[in-house]
Structures are given as structure tokens and as C-alpha cells.
A and B are shown apart, each in its own frame.
Chain A
Amino acid sequence: MTQYKPVVGVSEAVTLLFIFLSSKVFLTHVVFLYHEGLNAAWMIPIIQTSTGLLGLLLLVSVLNKFPGRDLVEIGEELTGPYINLLFALYYLAVFVFGAGMTLRGISEQVVAGFLPDTPISLVVFTFVLGTVVVSYLGVEAVARTARFLLGVMVVTAMALVLLTIPLWQFDAFYPLWGGGLWKLLAGALKNTGDFVQILLLGIIYPFLPVNQVRQIGVRGVIVAGFFLFLYVLAPLLIFTYPSATELTLPSFEMARIINIGRFGQRMEVVFLPVWVFGNMIFLSISLYAGAAVLARLCRLSDYRPFVLSVAVFTTVVAFVPRNALQAAYWNHQYLSQYSFIILAAILVILLLTARAKGKGGDKNEQGG
């Protein structure tokens, strides 16, 4: 798409995918899982990860039939330009809507927790400026930035959880089944959209190492599932049900409550980089992927002219919700719930069409 073909290595791709899937744990998102699973909400990410893996295998089976081509190109070949337009608009919606709500969410978090007197527009602008630069430089730049920051982010994210261990209350696990087994399963299935961002693999597929896409996807989904599980579980153990359902930003409250003696307090600033970097990488990926989808739709070889327009579009979407709460609810209602089913349906249609038309080869990957 750009002048030269970028290359994304295995570890960079895994990092991209898992950050893209799991950065939502730093926002309000996890609280909605508490409403579904009550005190047993920690089981939901485990079920979600399983469904995410199934979706991933479906995606990889479609992609592997058309080596070197991304999902938009595959869709066009199999279903034609008109039906594929609908599919591509759905992909675009996933990226732009997700980015818009995340942009609003992280900006609101910065305003609520750190810069209460700063206008939200200035905070949003700062995030957009940084992410536009990174995404303009391309998927390779995004992937390498993500890989470069991975160590800091993982260590900080783990430290945030580990430092709260003295506050864990293990009686919070009981009654073990929360709202009941069926409610848990229903809650997990309703929120499968948490893994809809596996769609990213379909967009960056041409740049990934041949024969290793399944391995990348499985690793990315499992690591993301682990962090989702951890950041659903930890606030439950610290704040217990039902109080945990009241939190607007569970990870922020976790950082605020760390108390190691008289001098080990007020540590939320230490964790600010993980929130900011995590969400900025998410936004950079979204802007790039959105621009890439538009470029494919317009049959242009360069995605770059679309980065700014997608950034503007994302900013507009970010300001559509009237308040922070509405942004969090919309993200949950329109992205986390059910969106995965649409993706799965598109993938099944593509797979069946390929089979019916006898298009695409069958490539068996090693490992993964």
C-alpha cells in the first residue's frame, strides 16, 4: 500500500494484537462485565477468550485461502464490490467507532483524574496529534512503537495488580457462580465483541510472516484474554461485589488505593504511562486500520491521505456522546455486544462463498 511493503515480525504482531484487544481494560469497560457476571464476572473473560479463539480460527481460515491479500480485497473478490462495500463499512465502523469511544474514554479519564481544569478538547487534540503522527508513519511504525513500549507496559500493568494484593479479599469469590451458570454464559456470549478487534489481523495480513498468522493470532488472543481476566478479577477482589459495579475507572481506583506505608501512597501517576501508552497504541492502530480500509475501498495504493480524515472522523465520533458515561455505554452497547456475531457472519459468508465458487487455495500452517 505504501511505497515499499512493510514487514511486521511475529512478536510485533502479537504485541499489536494483544494491545488492540486488551487496552479497553483501562477504561470503564470491565464494569459492564460485573453487571453480567456479578461476583463471578472473572469467568466471563475466560469464556470470551475461547470464543475469540474460535473467531480467530475462522478468520485465519479465510485469510489463508488468499495469501498476500487482506480481508477487504478478499471480500471484493468473493462477493463483489457492492456487498463488500457493506462489509468494509462494517470494518471501518469497528475501527472508527472503537477509536472514537476510546479517545473520549481516555481523555475523560485524564480530565477526571489528573487535569480537572483542562478542556476536554485540548486533551483530545493532544491524543489525536500523537496518534496521527504514529499511524501516518505506517503499520511498521505502530508495531515497532508498540513493541518498544511493551516491556514498560506489561511490567507496569502487572505491578499495578501485584501492589494491590494486600487488599484482596478472597471471600469475594463466593457465591462461586455469581448470577448463575446460564447468566454467566449469556453474559459472556453477549460480550463477545470484546474480541472483535481480531479483525486487525485481516487488515495487516499481507504484512505478516507467511505461515505464522494463526500462531500470532492465538498468542495475541490468549495474552489479551489473560489481561482482560486479570483486570476483571483484581477490582473484584479489591472492591468486591457489589461495590465494584459502582466504579467508573476500576484500574484508576486500583492505583489510587495502593498504600504501602506512609510514603507509598498516591501512586496513580506511576501508572499513567500504561493507561496513556496503551490507549495511544490502540488509537494509532485504529487510525491506521481505518485509513487502510478506506484506501482499499477507493482502490488506492497509499493509505496515508486517509489518516487525517479518519482522525477527524474519529474525533467527531468521540464528541458525539454527550458525556463520559454515554461514551462508555455506547462502546459497550454497540461494540462489545453482538459486533462479534456480525464479524463471524461475514467470515462464514466469505468462507462459504469461496467454497461455492471454488476460489482460494487451502494453506496449512505449521504450529500455532
Chain B
Amino acid sequence: MNRAVKLILAAALVLLLSGCYDYSEPDEKAWVLAMGLDKGRQNKLTVTAVIAVPKNIAGGGGGQPASGGGGAGGNFFTISMEAPTLLSTLELLDSVVDRRVDLSHTKWFVFSRELAEQGIAGYFAPISRFYQFRRSSYIVVCQERAEDFLAKGVPKLEDNVGKYFELMQRGWRYTEFIPFDSFHQFYLKSESPGVEPVAMLASLNRKAPVFESNSPKPKGWYYAGRIPRRGGGPVEVMGGAVFRKGKMVGILNGDQVGVQKMFFDTFRRTIVDVPDPKHPGRYIIVDVKPRQKPEVEVQIVDGYPQISVDLKLEGDIISIQSGENYTTPDRLHIVEQAVERILLKDINDTVAKSQELETDFLGFGLHAKKLFRTWPEWEEYRWDEKYPGAQIAVNVDYKVRRVGLVHEMAPLR
């Protein structure tokens, strides 16, 4: 008897496990998948929330496919509200949305370029304190107002806009044009002396032509908002927004983002169109991958840094437009040198840009701090002031590893 009563009492305790105060049903939550921030029109900020409509993501029922888009019956909707701060908007949203708004699944924090150039430190740093926020989300700078960008950015392939945001960012693995840094890295770089962050640059597609002539241009010159294209989804992500002390100070094009990733060892691969040294107007197309981590050596000479970088890369020949037979062991070096020349130009341009912006987004400071014994000595050196005067020498070593499925191509007749 006694034992039975104890068992019943113990079993009754299990009822408490459901947690009466914090019980939370997923179908009573409004999951915010992205937040946008613009300069406000009626208050300090215009905050836009992209809220998922789970029933449409899951499918229409009765064999109906999920409905796409952000309009009526779409898989997400956006709300823009005027508010003094980002997080106070959450309570405002609860006045408009029937379900409780939750940031736990927010993938993107989108800042308009206008706001980013004024400075966003006051907005992104404080959200790291909020328990719903996760450092694995991403900071995006869009060329237009974030409310327009998020409202019109309807994915073509995905029903789930959250997955779309994630997959767009994960493109950093397949293209050099998308920065690697999540909020976590962005935040650390913003706080650490000796390095500055780069955020993803995004835009809605541009209707007007970007360039006036059809003269050849490297594809890596493009960046979001300036990609010549027709068709596809409305959103494009390419290039980066460079920040210094929480303010956006410049834009990197696709190639420059690739160089930034090479220096941080987050570069995976890129395809490079190399002008054929023997056939002007024709290209050799190669892919480029890292062979080793970059070797960076920094010395302080007369108070200023002298930096030497060794980049070891490798890759395959994908195509030779001219049909010239470079694919014999004694002629491969011609291709290798041509690749090294074009990569070196991109790298030197990017290094020059970082010095021109007085912003070490290539992270040389992280190598330089090894020269100092203590943190106060490192801070006293004031790397950010010395970096623009640094002498930087880069050496690129590229090796062809494979030549594709064709060997010693016969010329067309």
C-alpha cells in the first residue's frame, strides 16, 4: 500500500515535466526567418520581419504543392514596423501577429546600405545578448531598403524561405564571391584589433544594363546590384561590405571577396578565365583550389610592418578555347604562369584596396600579433594606424594537377 502510494505520487510528479510556465507549441509561434533594418520614416528604425507560414511550406494538403512567394497564400509574409530599436519591435509584432513572435530561427539580419554606412554597431552588438538570438546567423548588407529587399526576395526553387537564406549563404563553398563570415566571425572581427569584418553584400536584381559595352570583363568584377543578368530570382548575393569600427566603408567585388577568403583559409574553389598568352581574345579556363594554408610572415621594420605572403594553389585545366596544346608536361608551366599573373593582379588590387580603405580586412594583424609578447604591447602598437603604411609582397604558386578529360587536343580544321 505504502509502496503503491509512493509510486502514484512519483508518477504524478511527471506531470510537472510538461512545464506549465514555458510550455510552447510550435503552431503557436511565428518564426521570424529574417530581420531587416532601415533608417526609419516615422521612428528611428524601420524593422522588417520575414515570418514563415508553415502550413504553406509543408504543402497545401490534399496533394496540393506548397505555394511559393510572399504574397497572399505564400510561404512567408513580411511586416515592416517603425520602432526605436530592433528588439522592441518583437513586442510590437505581437500586436499584429496572432502567434508569439520568436527569433530562434532567424537566419539573416539585413541592414540597408544607407544604415550600414551610418554605422550598425549599435544594432548588431546588442542582439548577441538576447537569448533567442544565435551567433550562427548572418549579417547581410543590401543595396536598397531592407524592407523592399525582403518583401520582394521571393525564392524560385525553395518553398522554405529559411532554407533559401541558408543555401544562399552556403554558396561560399562553391563560389569565391560569397563571404564566409557568420555573425560570430563578424562580431569577433569587429571587436578584435588587427582585423576588420566583411559582410555579405546582396541586392535585388537591376533592371537597367550594368555596362554600356560588351568589352571583355572578368566575372569577378561584379557585385550584388551590378550583375548583368536577366531572369532568375530577384535576389543576388555577391561581393562584400567592408566595415571599420561598425561602419561600412567600402564594397568588395566577387574577386576581392575570394582574395579575402584565401587569406583566411576559407577559400574553397573558383573558376578563373585566364587570357591565353599565345592567343589574344581567347581564354584558358582553370579551376583554382588552395594547396596549403597561406603562409604569412610579418616583420616590423622602422616601426612599420613588412608583410610577405606565400599562397600555394592548385587546380585543373577545364577548357582551352584556342585549342593550343598546353597539356604536355613541358608546356604546363605556360598555363601555370598565366594563372599566377592574373591571380596576383587580383590579390595586389585587393591588398591595395584594403590599404586605401585603411581597413585590414585581410587579417594580417592576426599574424602580426605573434610578434608581441603581451596584449598591452600589441594594443600600444596601434596596428590600424600602421597598416596603411605596410609593405606587402605576395607570391603566388599555382600548379596544374589535372587537364580534364581531353589530352593533347587536335586543332579544329
Is the pair A118, B375 in contact by a Cβ cutoff of 8 Å? no
Q: How far is the CA of A119 from the CA of B19 in the complex (A)?
A: 11
The answer to the question of B247 belonging to the interface, with a C-beta cut-off of 8 Å to chain A, is no
Q: How far is the CA of A131 from the CA of B379 in the complex (A)?
A: 47
Q: Which of A24-55 contact B (CB under 8 A)?
A: 38-39
Q: How far is the CA of A117 from the CA of B24 in the complex (A)?
A: 10
The answer to the question of B378 belonging to the interface, with a C-beta cut-off of 8 Å to chain A, is yes
Q: With A167-B184, A243-B191, A265-B136 known to touch, is A115 a contact of B374 (CB < 8 Å)?
A: no
Q: Which of B149-196 contact A (CB under 8 A)?
A: 163, 166, 182, 184, 187-188, 191-192
Return B54 CB to nearest CB of chain A, in Å. 17
Stretch binding the partner chain, chosen from A66-74, A170-178, A185-193, A321-329: A170-178
Is the pair A171, B135 in contact by a Cβ cutoff of 8 Å? no
A232-266 contact mask (Cβ, 8 Å, vs B): 1 or 0: 00000001111100100000010011010010011
Return A152 CB to nearest CB of chain B, in Å. 19
Q: How large is the interface on A (under 10, 10 to 19, 20 to 34, 35 or more residues)?
A: 20 to 34
Is the pair B370, A174 in contact by a Cβ cutoff of 8 Å? yes
The answer to the question of B62 belonging to the interface, with a C-beta cut-off of 8 Å to chain A, is no
Q: Which of A80-137 contact B (CB under 8 A)?
A: 112-119, 122
Provide the residues of chain B in CB contact with A273, threshold 8 Å.
none
Q: Which of A200-252 contact B (CB under 8 A)?
A: 239-243, 246
Q: How far is the CA of A73 from the CA of B205 in the complex (A)?
A: 81
Q: Which of A152-183 contact B (CB under 8 A)?
A: 167, 169, 171, 174-180
Return B408 CB to nearest CB of chain A, in Å. 42
Is the pair B131, A116 in contact by a Cβ cutoff of 8 Å? yes
Q: Which of A116, A243, A256, A262 has the most CB of B within 10 A?
A: A243
Q: How far is the CA of A99 from the CA of B347 in the complex (A)?
A: 57
Is the pair B369, A257 in contact by a Cβ cutoff of 8 Å? no
Closest residue of chain A to B377 (Cβ to Cβ) is A175
Is the pair B134, A256 in contact by a Cβ cutoff of 8 Å? yes
Is the pair B376, A179 in contact by a Cβ cutoff of 8 Å? yes
The answer to the question of B21 belonging to the interface, with a C-beta cut-off of 8 Å to chain A, is yes
Provide the residues of chain A in CB contact with B163, threshold 8 Å.
262
Provide the residues of chain B in CB contact with A262, threshold 8 Å.
163, 166
Is the pair B22, A259 in contact by a Cβ cutoff of 8 Å? no
Is the pair A175, B367 in contact by a Cβ cutoff of 8 Å? no
Return B70 CB to nearest CB of chain A, in Å. 22
The answer to the question of B372 belonging to the interface, with a C-beta cut-off of 8 Å to chain A, is yes
Closest residue of chain A to B23 (Cβ to Cβ) is A117
Is the pair B367, A253 in contact by a Cβ cutoff of 8 Å? no
Is the pair B136, A122 in contact by a Cβ cutoff of 8 Å? no
Q: How far is the CA of A320 from the CA of B134 in the complex (A)?
A: 31
Q: With A171-B367, A257-B184 known to touch, is A115 a contact of B372 (CB < 8 Å)?
A: no
Q: How far is the CA of A246 from the CA of B21 in the complex (A)?
A: 29
Provide the residues of chain B in CB contact with A112, threshold 8 Å.
131
Q: How large is the interface on B (under 10, 10 to 19, 20 to 34, 35 or more residues)?
A: 20 to 34
Which residue from B135, B188, B375 sits with its C-beta under 8 Å from A38? Answer: B375
Return B130 CB to nearest CB of chain A, in Å. 10
Provide the residues of chain B in CB contact with A177, threshold 8 Å.
373-374
Which residue from A115, A167, A176 sits with its C-beta under 8 Å from B19? Answer: A115
Is the pair A115, B21 in contact by a Cβ cutoff of 8 Å? yes
Provide the residues of chain A in CB contact with B372, threshold 8 Å.
174-175
Q: Which of A245-291 contact B (CB under 8 A)?
A: 246, 253, 256-257, 259, 262, 265-266
Q: How far is the CA of A169 from the CA of B378 in the complex (A)?
A: 18
Provide the residues of chain A in CB contact with B87, threshold 8 Å.
none
Provide the residues of chain A in CB contact with B191, threshold 8 Å.
242-243
Is the pair B376, A180 in contact by a Cβ cutoff of 8 Å? yes
Closest residue of chain A to B363 (Cβ to Cβ) is A171
Return B218 CB to nearest CB of chain A, in Å. 31
Is the pair B375, A178 in contact by a Cβ cutoff of 8 Å? yes
Which residue from A180, A253, A266 sits with its C-beta under 8 Å from B374? Answer: A180
Q: With A177-B374, A178-B375, A180-B376 known to touch, is A118 a contact of B19 (CB < 8 Å)?
A: yes
The answer to the question of B210 belonging to the interface, with a C-beta cut-off of 8 Å to chain A, is no
Q: With A175-B375, A177-B374, A180-B374 known to touch, is A117 a contact of B22 (CB < 8 Å)?
A: yes
Return A29 CB to nearest CB of chain B, in Å. 19
Is the pair A175, B192 in contact by a Cβ cutoff of 8 Å? no
Provide the residues of chain A in CB contact with B92, threshold 8 Å.
none
The 7 A-B residue pairs whose C-beta atoms are closest, nearest first, are A118-B21, A175-B372, A171-B366, A115-B22, A174-B370, A180-B374, A117-B21
**Given A113-B131, A175-B374: 7 more A-B contacts, CB < 8 Å:** A116-B22, A174-B369, A178-B374, A180-B373, A243-B191, A243-B192, A259-B182
List B residues at the A interface (Cβ < 8 Å): 19, 21-22, 104, 128, 131, 134-136, 163, 166, 182, 184, 187-188, 191-192, 366-367, 369-370, 372-378
A-B contact pairs, 5 of them (CB 8 A): A114-B22, A115-B19, A175-B372, A176-B373, A179-B375
